[in-house]
Structures are given as structure tokens and as C-alpha cells.
Amino acid sequence: MSIEDVLSRIDSDLPAATERLLELLRIPSISTDPAYKADCDRAADWLVADLQSMGIDASKRATPGHPMVVGHLGDGGPHLLFYGHYDVQPVDPLNLWDRDPFDPEVQDTPKGKVIRGRGSSDDKGQLMTFVEALRAWKEVKGDWPCRITFFLEGEEESGSPSLVPFMKENAEELKTDVALICDTGLFESKTPAIVTMLRGLLGEELTVKAASKDLHSGMYGGIAMNPIRALSKVIAGLHDETGRVTIPGFYDGVPELPDELEAQWQGLAFNHEAFLSDVGLAIPAGEQDRTPLEMIWSRPTCEVNGIWGGYTGDGFKTVLPSMAHAKISFRLVGSQDPLAIRENFRTMVEDALPDDCEVTFHGHGASGASGADISGPMFEQARQALSEEWNVPAAYIGCGGSIPIAGHFQQILGTEPMLIGFGKDDDALHSPNEKYDMESFHKGIRSWARILDALT
Amino acid sequence: MSIEDVLSRIDSDLPAATERLLELLRIPSISTDPAYKADCDRAADWLVADLQSMGIDASKRATPGHPMVVGHLGDGGPHLLFYGHYDVQPVDPLNLWDRDPFDPEVQDTPKGKVIRGRGSSDDKGQLMTFVEALRAWKEVKGDWPCRITFFLEGEEESGSPSLVPFMKENAEELKTDVALICDTGLFESKTPAIVTMLRGLLGEELTVKAASKDLHSGMYGGIAMNPIRALSKVIAGLHDETGRVTIPGFYDGVPELPDELEAQWQGLAFNHEAFLSDVGLAIPAGEQDRTPLEMIWSRPTCEVNGIWGGYTGDGFKTVLPSMAHAKISFRLVGSQDPLAIRENFRTMVEDALPDDCEVTFHGHGASGASGADISGPMFEQARQALSEEWNVPAAYIGCGGSIPIAGHFQQILGTEPMLIGFGKDDDALHSPNEKYDMESFHKGIRSWARILDALT
């Protein structure tokens, strides 16, 4: 039986594969919210059962947080690892969803069929592309392509607190020739891509406290320090007029783009006007002396992800609040040191606040950037397989998002990460009405079958 | 029967008067939240019934919002009006209350007995001081002191949208010789006071919108405009380094303090260190070239009362939000024009935002400052009565809060407002664990009896 038979089997099994994905999407496995702990567990159980049904030696492995799903199959050939995550982002603001985020369905749209629901693209749909490719392979060929280890986590959307300890404790079991990671996208929705450059992520939550209790702004307004005003000033000072981040030492370890990569990226002819206009914007808002692709792939950023303080309900309340809060994250590149930046950020905030304000910090993960070494033959084999499936040369690209696991594979296991995914720019990751194109799902499954064929 | 008999009656009736107040406090008449509409109505009914039980011709009068309570009694002598409000502030953050805000009780504290509950000081407890004084008067003397009109509203905490139309439609009925308003406090918790200078209030809510939907900060961070960053910059720019508000024309119509008032205020020996340290602060945060009393009584302010945007729940979500929101209010003095300031504020915000941001505004009330003409004999008669009850000379003072009704009485009815109240600085108005001292309630009732005696 040839690879063509496997691809045919994938085509004919697509309706059943879609039903399986919808089943997994119905489980609200929001890892960041403790109220959904049992649901995360249920999603892990579902995956264990599905892998076992294929004859894979899979099990749920406890951690202090949500469980890992680990599975082993096959022998001989290269030893591959497949990584994905079964947890999903929170769904607020819920009122902006057109349907229940956990009642997924296949919808016809002007751009084609989509699978709509939280986690459809990030990352349950992507995760299942690999599972379905392997299922079809086994059904058609009666055997596995090579030795493969599954490693699925349930804490990716909440900073992966259990990941590093688990990898260290189970290093021998998880060490493989390459780690296939399916949590990225196509390039501009058309070109398959292998991500070779990933930004790191540093998360900080801060609370600025002024008065010991909420005050009446009539009685205290003017004389009492307003913590929202103080926090706003701190946030306004995080960037200078040219869009550069002002934290001392922030750009230490930020490399200039190598000439050859710069040339390749220019060849991609990235249409930043279209990229921005898709979401109602027009003007690149980053460092003014950088290209749009640099802004999203190779330059570090500082973004406020949330802010709150005082009265935020309907109507008006003339309160002078006691506290104001913000969640701020940094995307890191090159050899920027997350812990040094955290320290410099905190010192800068403390120095910037007026004497009548106190600040407390809560860290939310700190991972450096990573890049893959693409010199081995496997990267080129996978790139060829992708190019065949999509009928267009696959690209090596950067990625603005942070997938800390890529760095962990390198540093803890010495395993090179290969990031291949099929998401599109308009998938609404982390947003209301998340979707995954049926084309992404279908051709994603087919892509993995071709890659498995090329690597073995 | 002399005034001493009325005061004795007040003393012996205090337990029953307290029970009546607790009954009124149990009604959660939060005017700003539509969910409590029926409760506001219930509070109005309770007051009508209580006034009727004293033989007062009282009724509930419909408005497009919450109803007014109007009552008439007596004849001859000066015609007095009494104003108070039966609505209360929202109770959030609820978790900072030591008990259910609407299950009030009398508590023993190191500083004496207090009545704890939402509205105890603002304004149900204050409102009932006048009602109880009149009840005792009638019971002891068998007749009313003079002609009195009650005028109680239920929208004071939500900008009083129905007040001006109602006053205009019923001007003949509400026009009196003086309007007694009980919604202010003692001076520094010890000295009775008549407020003769009140700041105005302008409320603005703004929404800054950047992208058409929430974005993933990994994919769009750096290149896409962040509306929280844009809003923070606007807020940070509302004050200069010296604490002055930067809106063009903001200080037009702000008068310098007359020399004689400046001298009187210096005589009050206001202890701003104690005023601030009571709430955990130390440094006057207003215009650096002004005295603390000016900051809270006679200078205009700009305060952010609420801010929100992006992910504000537990954990972390690397969202780049589509929108950010703030509620901002201005305290106005002298002849500052609220509508001109609103316009200049909006223009300044629009000009300050980057091109990729849109802003929408929602106005929440706009009232200028007001001052009372204290040259008539009634003010001095009332001041003497207060001095006798509290055994210390009563003061004419300013007030940082805005009680727009004072200006409305002057402008619509030609009636001079006389603002007398018994709240204390630590009453926690608009905050968790609001209270009203039993001393304020008791001596407040006695004060009104003495004032009625002095004015008639």
C-alpha cells in the first residue's frame, strides 16, 4: 500500500474525523480557570481512550496541575515525538460569540467550510491532524511508520507550570530524534511553513495601591493619589515616541536580522496592509524603524493584556479607587534574558510610582526565545512533503507567538523542535468565534501523512 | 412645651428612631443599577407611608426614572423645604464588606456606636434626622413649627436625570424661603458646619477602539495598536508635572480664594496629615502650589473613577484587546462651564489618540459649581442653633463633593440652599462598610429641632 492509499483513506474518513474533533471540542478544557479542572481531566481521558482505541500504549500522567497524556507506539526508523495541547483559552467576552463556544459545528462560509468553536484551531483541531494521519496510516498499512511518542499537555494556555518538571523527570522517555509540534500556522493562509524562530514570553501582573480603601472622589478628589492615574502613567512610559520599549537593558541580546534571512523575508512579499486591514487597522504600531515582518517575528514587544480598577459597571460611580491592576506581557527574541527583564521592569515601575503608591507584582511565566537548527536532513524532507501537499514551496518563517516548549525540547532533551501547523490568520485564536478551516484540518491530516512518509 | 421638651422626647425615642432607620436601610435602593428599580420604588413607598403616619400629606410622584416623594405640612411662619435622597450607591467590591450591606446593624466600636450598612450616612440616615426631629416636635407640641415641604429624590447617586424637569414642572409647589439640604458632613468630625461652597460635577465615559476584534498578542503584538496603551497615554496626559489639569481652557472661570475666606480657612487649622493618614496616604496629590483645603474645597479636579479592558480574570491571557474603557469625572468650581469643558476634553482626547484608534464618548451629567448667599438672617440663626447643640462654634465651609441640587434651587426656584449635615470623614461613603455614627444620628435629630426652633 502506497502513500496515495493513505491519502485516499484520509479523504474518505474526513466526516468521521470531523465528528471525533467535534466531540473533543465539546469539552470546555479551560486550563487557566480552576472551575474547569474536571473538564481538563475529561479532555485528557478522551485522548487516552482515543489513542488506546488505535492500539497505542497511552496513559494519563498526573502532575501538580492538569495531567499529561503520554503514548508510545511502533519501533524502528527515526524516533519521532508529537506534541500538542488539549487545553483552551477562556471564552470571554462571551457576548461576542455567535454561538456557545463549546457547542461546535461545521459552518458554510463565503470562504469555505469552517469548524467553529473554542479550541478548534488552538490547539485541538491541530492536535487531531496528527492523530488522524496516524489512524489512517495504521488502517491502510496495518503497521506504524516508525517509533513515535505522543506528549500532550493541558496547561499550555496557562503558562505550562508542570511542563519543565515533567520533562526533566521523564527525560529518557521523551528524548527523541525530533519533536513535531503542531501549534503554528500557514504563512498568510496560503503557504505551508516550518517555524524556525520563536519569540519568548514574560508575563507580569501588577497591583498599584494608593489609599487603604475606596474613597469618595468629592471628598478626596484632588488631594488623594489616584492609583489609576499612577498606573496609566507607568504604562504610558513603557514605550517612547518611536515605539521602543524604555525598560533599561530591554534590548540587550536582541540580534539584528541576518542578511540572508532578511532577503528571504523580503521574498515573501508580506502584505502588511492586508494583514492589518483584516482586523480593522492600517498603521504598523511597533518600532517605527522596523519592517512589519520584523515587528511580528523578530523584534521584542511589550503589550498590556488587561487593565482594571475602580467602578466598571453600568452608570457612574464617583469613586476614587484604592487599587488599579494590569496584566502586561513581553515577547522576547534572541538571547534576551526574561528574568533580568522582569527585574528591570519591576525596578522601573517602583521608581516611576509616586511615594503614596505601593506596587505588588505577580509573575506569570518567563521563557526565552528559541530557534531551530535546520541543518539536519529531516527539515528539508518535511519541507518537501509540505510543498507537495500544498502545491507551493513551503517556507521557513518566524513566529510572533511564544511556544516555550520548543526551547524546552532543545535545552532539556537536546531534541530539535520542528514546528508545523495549519492555522490561518483569521482563525480568531484567543478571541470570540474561533474557527479552524476544514481545508486546514483536511490538508493538515494529509500533510502529516506525507511528512511521516518522507521521514521514514 | 419648650424646645427642651422636644429634645428630651428625641432622647427617649432614639431606640425607636434607630429601628425605623434600619428598616429603611434594608431596602437595597441602588438607583444606578436597573436591577434594583423595584427596590427604589419600595423605598419611596416606605417614606410616603412614614410621612403619612405622622399626618403629613405625602405622595409618590412618578418621573421617567425613580419616583420623587413630596409632602406638605403646616402653615404660617417661614416656608421651609427639606431635601434628601433615598437612593444609595452600588456596593461593589462586595467582598470587602464585613457583612451584607443591606442587613444593617448597630455596632459597638472603639469610637462609639455606629449604624453600619449601605446608605446609613449617604443619605438615608441623614434624611431621617430631619424626619425624626419633626416627628418629636409634633408629638410634644401637638402642631407643626411652620409650613414645610418635603422633597425627596431617588436618583441622586445616578446623576438625577429627572430632577430638573420635575423642579421646572412643579416650580410653584417647590418654591420656598429656604431649602434645607441634609447630604453633607461635620467639619473634621467635630465641628458642625453649613456648606456655602459646592463643586460641580462633569462625568464622561469613553471607549477607545483599535482592532475590530480581540487579537492574539503573539501574532499581532508589536504591529497592532493596543487601545489600553493609547488610553493610558491619554489619561497620563490629563495632568502636568505640577498636578494641573491640561485640558485647554479648563481653568477659565476658576476664581482665586477671597482673602477673608482664606483667613477663615486658615483659622480652621485643617490637619491634612490626619485627614490623609486616616486612609493610608501622606502626600497631597493635587496642584502643588495650592493648600490642602483648596484642593478639596475650592479647586477643580479631574479623576479617573474606573478603567477596564482586555483580560481581567484569574491567570493570564495573552490577548491584545480590541477596546479599552474609562470613566472620568471632573469637579468644577466658580463659573467653570461644564459643557465647554466636556467639548474641550473630547477634542483633546481625539487629537491625542493615534490614527488607528476611534473613541466614543458617553456623558454622565454636567453641573456647575454653586455657592450660597449667606447674608439673610436664617443662615446665622441656623449657625447659632448648631453651635448650641454641639457646644462649639459652627463654621461656614466649602465642600469637595457635588450636590447639584443646591444650584438647581437657586437657578430654577430662586431659593437659597442651606446645606447642613452630620456625616463624618470616616463614614466610608460610596465604599465598603459604610456607617453613620449614632452620635451623628442622635445629635443630628436634635440639631434640626433646634434649627426649626430658631427659624420660627
Q: How far apart are CA B328 and CA B13, in angstroms?
A: 44
Structural domain includes residue B215: yes
Q: Which of A367, A383, A406 is the last residue of a domain?
A: A367
Regarding whether A162 and A217 lie in a shared domain, the answer is no
Structural domain includes residue B139: yes
Structural domain includes residue A231: yes
Percentage of chain B modeled with pLDDT above 70: 100
Q: Which of B347, B367, B387 is the last residue of a domain?
A: B367
Mutation target to probe the B interface, by most B beta carbons within 10 A, among A189, A251, A318 is A318
Q: Give the chain B residue nearest A356 (alpha carbons).
A: B281
Contact A311 B159 (CB under 8 A): no
Q: Give the chain A residue nearest B403 (alpha carbons).
A: A218
Q: How far apart are CA A313 and CA B358, in angstroms?
A: 22
Regarding whether A218 and A160 lie in a shared domain, the answer is no
Q: Is the pLDDT of residue B193 over 90?
A: yes
Residue pair A43/A29 in contact by the 8 Å Cβ criterion? yes
Confidence of residue B105 (pLDDT cuts 50, 70, 90): very high
Nearest beta carbon to residue B430 from set A90, A296, A319: A319
Whole-Å CA distances, A364 to A32, A238, A304, B20, B316? 11, 19, 13, 52, 7
Nearest beta carbon to residue A217 from set B32, B223, B329: B329
Structural domain includes residue B275: no
Q: Which residues of A touch B239 (CB under 8 A)?
A: 229
Q: Report the gap between the CA of B16 and the closest CA in chain A (Å).
A: 31
Q: How far apart are CA A45 and CA A64, in angstroms?
A: 17
Regarding whether A429 and A315 lie in a shared domain, the answer is no
Q: Which residues of B touch A402 (CB under 8 A)?
A: 218, 318
CATH assignment of the domain containing A8: 3.40.630.10
Mutation target to probe the B interface, by most B beta carbons within 10 A, among A37, A223, A356 is A223
CATH assignment of the domain containing A357: 3.30.70.360
Q: Which residues of A touch B223 (CB under 8 A)?
A: 272, 275-276, 284-286, 292, 295-296
Half-sphere exposure of A62 (CA within 13 A, CB side): 1
Q: Which of B343, B367, B391 is the last residue of a domain?
A: B367
Q: How far apart are CA B216 and CA A401, in angstroms?
A: 8
Q: Which residues of B touch A304 (CB under 8 A)?
A: 226, 228-229, 232, 309-310
Regarding whether A18 and A142 lie in a shared domain, the answer is yes
| Ranges of residues in chain A whose predicted pLDDT is under 70 | none
Confidence of residue B374 (pLDDT cuts 50, 70, 90): confident
Contact B281 A224 (CB under 8 A): yes
**Domain coverage including residue B10:** 3-198+369-455
Contact B315 A32 (CB under 8 A): yes
Residue pair A64/A164 in contact by the 8 Å Cβ criterion? no
Residue pair A336/A253 in contact by the 8 Å Cβ criterion? yes
With b for 16 or more beta-carbon neighbours within 10 A and e for fewer, the B5-18 pattern comes to ebbebbeebbeebb
Regarding whether A172 and A227 lie in a shared domain, the answer is no
| Closest to A91 measured CA to CA, from A106, A103, A105, A102 | A102
Q: How many interchain CB pairs under 8 A, A with B? A: 356
Contact B319 A325 (CB under 8 A): no
**DSSP label of A107:** E
Q: How far apart are CA B225 and CA A156, in angstroms?
A: 26
Question: How would you class B256 by CB atoms within 10 Å of its CB: exposed for 0-12, middle for 13-18, buried for 19 or more?
Answer: exposed
Residue that the C-alpha cell 457646644 belongs to: B391
Contact A355 B282 (CB under 8 A): yes
Residue pair A436/A212 in contact by the 8 Å Cβ criterion? no
**Sign of the Cα pseudo-torsion (B119, B330, B244, B257, in order):** negative
pLDDT in tens, A28-67: 999 999 999 999 999 999 999 999 999 999 999 999 999 9
At residue B367, the pLDDT reads 86
Q: Give the chain A residue nearest B90 (alpha carbons).
A: A317
| Closest to A342 measured CA to CA, from A278, A428, A271, A247 | A247
Contact B316 A279 (CB under 8 A): no
Question: What integer is the mean pLDDT of B12-29?
Answer: 98
Q: How far apart are CA B342 and CA B344, in angstroms?
A: 6
Regarding whether B334 and B191 lie in a shared domain, the answer is no
Regarding whether B134 and B41 lie in a shared domain, the answer is yes
Q: How far apart are CA B327 and CA A416, in angstroms?
A: 50
Structural domain includes residue A73: yes
At residue B397, the pLDDT reads 87
Structural domain includes residue B274: no
SS3 B87: coil
Confidence of residue B9 (pLDDT cuts 50, 70, 90): very high
Q: Report the gap between the CA of A241 and the closest CA in chain B (Å).
A: 11
Nearest beta carbon to residue B309 from set A92, A306, A320: A306
Regarding whether A49 and A175 lie in a shared domain, the answer is yes
The residues near B30 (Cβ < 8 Å, ≥ 6 apart) are B36, B39, B40, B87, B88, B89, B90, B91, B157
Structural domain includes residue B260: no
Q: Strand pairing partners for A209? A: A323, A358
Residue pair B66/B31 in contact by the 8 Å Cβ criterion? yes
Whole-Å CA distances, A222 to A240, A380, B2, B290, B303? 28, 65, 46, 10, 8
Regarding whether A208 and A172 lie in a shared domain, the answer is no
Q: Which amino acid is at A431?
A: S
Q: Strand pairing partners for B437? A: B114
Contact A355 B283 (CB under 8 A): yes
| Closest to B239 measured CA to CA, from B330, B160, B148 | B330
Contact A285 B221 (CB under 8 A): no
Regarding whether B394 and B362 lie in a shared domain, the answer is no
For Cα atoms B32, B411, B82, give the angle at the middle one, nearest 5 degrees.
60
Half-sphere exposure of A279 (CA within 13 A, CB side): 31
Q: Give the chain A residue nearest B205 (alpha carbons).
A: A316
Q: Report the gap between the CA of B168 and the closest CA in chain A (Å).
A: 25
Q: How far apart are CA B308 and CA A306, in angstroms?
A: 7
At residue A94, the pLDDT reads 92
Q: Report the gap between the CA of B165 and the closest CA in chain A (Å).
A: 20
pLDDT in tens, B260-317: 778 878 888 789 999 999 999 999 999 999 999 999 888 999 999 999 999 998 888 8
Q: Report the gap between the CA of A380 and the closest CA in chain B (Å).
A: 25
Structural domain includes residue A280: no
Contact B218 A226 (CB under 8 A): no
Q: Report the gap between the CA of B253 and the closest CA in chain A (Å).
A: 18
Contact A217 B301 (CB under 8 A): yes
Mutation target to probe the B interface, by most B beta carbons within 10 A, among A31, A316, A349 is A316
**Parallel, antiparallel, or unpaired: how do β-strands B112-116 and B435-437 relate?**
antiparallel
* Other C-beta atoms lying within 10 Å of the C-beta of residue B179: 25
Nearest beta carbon to residue A430 from set B309, B313, B318: B318
Contact A213 B428 (CB under 8 A): yes
φ/ψ of A306, rounded to 5, equals: -165, 150
**DSSP label of B82:** E
Regarding whether A386 and A309 lie in a shared domain, the answer is no
Q: Report the gap between the CA of A427 and the closest CA in chain B (Å).
A: 10
Q: How far apart are CA A408 and CA A379, in angstroms?
A: 19
Question: The C-alpha cell of B276 is what?
Answer: 490623609
Contact B220 A400 (CB under 8 A): yes
Contact A223 B431 (CB under 8 A): no
Which value, to the nearest 10 degrees, does the dihedral of the CA atoms of residues A122, A124, A126, A132 take?
-170
Q: How far apart are CA A201 and CA A2, in angstroms?
A: 43
Contact B232 A236 (CB under 8 A): yes
How many domains, in total, are found in chain B? 2
Contact A222 B320 (CB under 8 A): no
Question: The C-alpha cell of B252 is what?
Answer: 477659565
Q: Which residues of A touch B208 (CB under 8 A)?
A: none
Q: How far apart are CA B367 and CA B336, in angstroms?
A: 10
Contact A299 B217 (CB under 8 A): no
Residue pair A210/A226 in contact by the 8 Å Cβ criterion? yes
Q: Report the gap between the CA of B317 and the closest CA in chain A (Å).
A: 7
Q: Which amino acid is at B98?
A: D
At residue A100, the pLDDT reads 97
Q: Which residues of A touch B281 (CB under 8 A)?
A: 210-211, 224-225, 356
Regarding whether B363 and B373 lie in a shared domain, the answer is no
Residue pair B214/B320 in contact by the 8 Å Cβ criterion? yes
